[in-house]
Amino acid sequence: MLLDARQPPPTPERLAGCLATLPGAASPAGAAARVAAELHREGAVLVVLDDDPTGSQTVAGVPLLLRFGDDDLAWALSTGSDVVFALTSSRALPEREAVAINRTLAERLATVARGLGADPRIVSRSDSTLRGHFPAEVDAVAEGLRAAGEPPVDGILLCPAFPEAGRVTIGSVHCVQRDGELIPVAETEFAQDPVFGYEESDLRDWAAERTGVAREQIGYVNLADIRLGGAVRVAELLCEVRGGQVVVLDAVTREDLEVLALGVAEAEREGRRFVCRTGPSFVSARAGRALPEPLDGSALAAVAAGDADMGAVRHGLVVVGSHTELTTRQLVRAVARHGLARIELDVAAVARPHDRDAEIARAATATASALACGDVALATSRQLADDAGVAGKAAIASALVAVVERVVASVTPAFLVAKGGITSHELAEKALHAGRATVLGQLFPGQVSVWRLEDGPHAGLPYVVFPGNVGDVDALAATVGRLRGGTRALS
């Protein structure tokens, strides 16, 4: 039987036992094609409002926006893609600003899409370990759609599962898989986030705490519904949703997500409207897209060739802003394996007004000099004050932007890897001055996207978006190794 998440916190053994009572995951024949056909039939475009730049890890060949002028929105919606990403980077903003950007963007998207004959279906993509402004952002999206004259939202679908990175939901308990063990997410380092920390692993409790409604008012589609009842049962449950109710969706595998996506499509065909709050994996499933194969060596060489006429050096730049323990371990391993020159930006110094400019100048000069000779890792110092908060993180990000902006003004790297969600967005928009990009694919299955910048002074630059909280300890080293292979193929 599915465990009752109202009992004491589940142990890994109980979670595994819950899975053992159910049949294995399986999606209906042709599920992805049926979901894609339904989107096409309705002229729908899945528009993903991404609260940091890492959500595009499960799709390829899609337009991506960092700037939201009407012409930019029209460009993305007119590419013919059934998926469009708009990067709000709102996880790095105070809640009031996050609400404002989501509301305004949803309203403008709906208005521009209507003029083009498109029907936007919005996904609010956020962290698979529950960090972000919820429910404020999805409420803002619903308000923006209503202001644009769109039908009211019947439900908010909460599905943070990201199987490719070991984030799964069983019995409404959200877990992180580590070394074959299921760890309730509240017992991980992610729950200790200084801005978005939490104590609940049960998503019904987590959502109830944040929405202020009773747990019993949070809807739920469990693994038994998915694996025994299939898409028909999922659609049946979702057709009962009204009034913007939050609904938690279990998912452990890609097949579970495909069943859910088909159920959502069938409920929408019956007239229901949803805003989805999800991790990265739901996006490709909801679009009816297969998980892309990782980019191979020839593809990476072709990407790297795109900047051959830009005067780029044959060396790459890795910029590390994330402060998670995993990121630090990955950084140490990458530096050791590839002999990267490590330049450190002192976060304590940039926090002191009288030292900030000098520290930025020092780090920029050191990075540019090192980049002329080899691959470089530019990293913020690893100690982040417990009370840094949103404002403190923003100040660090702006200093890192200033360093990279100075570096690329004098030398263009062969590739740039941005480690950390906030870091990725800030560098692309403010240091490289890009407003449009294309997601070319990923380096690993469902993880670590490679973009091609489509405008700005560094158009064509291969830009790698590496989240702070994914991959094993060797993943950053492997990333640098694969990119080095691509650039050396041109030599």
Select the more confidently predicted residue: 43 or 276: 276
What is the pLDDT confidence band of residue 25, given thresholds at 50, 70 and 90? confident
**Domain shared by 264 and 181, yes or no:** yes
Condensed to tens digits (0 to 9), the pLDDT of residues 159-192 reads 999 999 899 999 999 999 988 899 999 999 999 9
Task: Flag whether 292 is in a domain.
Answer: no
Residues 163, 246, single domain; the answer is yes
pLDDT attached to residue 13: 73
CB 215 within 8 Å of CB 208: yes
Q: Is the pLDDT of residue 301 over 70?
A: no
Q: What's the mean pLDDT in 330-359?
A: 95
Its pTM stands at 0.86
CATH number of the domain bearing residue 394: 3.40.980.20
The residue behind tokens 């142990």 is: 11
Which of 35, 108, 462 minimizes the C-alpha distance to 268?
A: 35
Do 279 and 339 lie in one domain? The reply is: no
Q: In what order do the strands lie in the sheet with 181-184?
A: 167-170, 173-178, 181-184
Confirm whether 4 is domain-assigned: no
Mean pLDDT, residues 371-393 taken together: 78
Same domain, 400 and 256: no
The mean pLDDT value for 370-382 works out to 94
The confidence score (pLDDT) of residue 214 equals 96
Quick one: 188 and 244 in the same domain? yes
Does position 491 have pLDDT exceeding 50, yes or no? no
What per-residue confidence (pLDDT) applies to 372? 92
Instruction: Write down which residue in 286, 321, 341 finishes a domain.
Output: 286
* pLDDT bucket at 421, cuts 50 / 70 / 90: confident
Strand ranges (DSSP E) for 26-111? 44-50, 62-65, 83-87
- Check residue 6 and give its pLDDT: 53
Calpha distance 340→343 (Å, rounded)? 9
- Strand-strand pairing, 83-87 and 62-65: parallel
DSSP strand pairing (376-380 vs 317-320): parallel
| Range(s) of the domain holding residue 40 | 12-286
Q: Are residues 449 and 472 in the same domain?
A: yes
Higher-scoring residue by pLDDT: 16, 39? 39
Mean of pLDDT values over 51-74: 93
Write down the pLDDT at residue 1: 35
The first and second tokens of residue 166, run together, are 């070991």
Q: 485 falls in which pLDDT band (50, 70, 90)?
A: confident
Q: What is the pLDDT of residue 7?
A: 56
The reported pLDDT for the residue numbered 490 is: 39
Q: What is the DSSP string of 383-443?
A: ---TT-HHHHHHHHHHHHHHHHHHHHHH-B-S-EEEESHHHHHHIIIIIS---EEEEEEEE
Q: What is the band of 4 on the pLDDT scale with cuts at 50, 70, 90?
A: low
pLDDT band at 274 (very low <50, low <70, confident <90, very high): very high
Mean local confidence (pLDDT), 243-270: 96
- Using an 8 Å Cβ cutoff, are 29 and 228 in contact? no
For 303, the 3-state DSSP assignment is: helix
Phi, psi of 174 (to 5 degrees): -90, 135
DSSP secondary structure code for residue 159 in this structure? E
Is 5 a member of any domain? Answer: no
Q: Whole-angstrom Cα distance, residue 325 to residue 382?
A: 9
User: Is 208 part of any domain?
Assistant: yes
Question: Do 132 and 198 fall into the same domain?
Answer: yes
Q: What is the pLDDT of residue 425?
A: 87
- At residue 162, the pLDDT reads 94
Q: Give me the CATH number covering residue 151.
A: 3.40.50.10840
